[in-house]
Structure 1
């Protein structure tokens, strides 16, 4: 059975820049059995109710601006998975979620950047699942739990976001990519790691109240919620392993976790 993963996708420049997180993702495909399909819950697709994408073609969405031209020439177009999307949507409906299908949307950079590095051949069918950032952590843990049966079918469930994500700090100036990590980022990340390894779901879904500097590290929640989707998809009592940890620009933690 495949694990579920949480990946920090960072800046879209990770597709081009030599960083520890990029090196990790480039080796990720070799660490896992080959999936039959990949489902990515991405922080960059926010909707009112859960949506799965099933376009005729997985076009590459360059959902960012102000980056070098080379980044906009990158494309990642794996096969789509319309039958799987329909089946997952039905499973979500049976679990009480008003899920739908989007037949036009391709892959945003929360999906295509990490997958371009991990599975560059673009041969494995990929579909995305949206997040509902107004509904919080416990909701997304339950959403992930409804996806758990997919793992036994060879579907790799991936939550793609960021372990910390306060982009407001760029307004103060652009630190070096390898600048030392700030103490608040360390405190938050250490707390999350401790609770994840302990399997303390009750504390984790209440992270906004319990974790140090939670609101500072995630002024909005969309980039952490994919973690809960992956955690939920692994099921109760699943083993937790941190696959990678690094920091970029002093405040972006690029941690990755394996569940199950």
Structure 2
């Protein structure tokens, strides 16, 4: 039997028309935000959750724009993938994260976890914020993290690996990992682990580690592999 091809053609892009019921529901133009896919719940299909970012830049189209952090937001918008029923703004109970951009987000079951970023007052704290979408009573939770953690950072990436490890890569150093309970993430204190003491997803820790970088992209595969691509290193090299 022949082996299956390793490369597969990428799916074609298509434009989706979105709409909203009120001006408050409209996300508007923004950058440095996150868009996270969340699994279906009992009352909702799979959704895309848009959070944060900045809504203002300096200069015009002909000049080199700079982000205005006073335009940072902590608004949350939801898009139902199956129904295609427009982008609606979510008002969740609890303590939300501060307005921020260049933060990281990851789906953990029917929750979204947010960490880091930068806002008008500077670096956001390294606290974890969880938006629980399991029921129709959306709620923010602040995760109690004990011991040393990744520290404030922005321009980093985060994802859930092997449905168990919450992994942060870069921002200002390489790897951090937290062993999480997918069902009770915010009910128990979390502990971050330094990269020198872990074997991520139980894989062989040998081999070349990526350099510390910002503005990379990353995604976790279903088989427990964490894929990292691109970014800018400490010297500014892409």
Same fold by TM (over 0.5)?
Answer: no
Instruction: Give the greater-gyration-radius structure (CA).
Output: 2
TM-score, with length taken from structure 2: 0.25
TM-score, with length taken from structure 1: 0.24
Q: Which has the higher helix share?
A: 1
Q: Which has the higher contact order (CA 8 A, sep 6+)?
A: 1
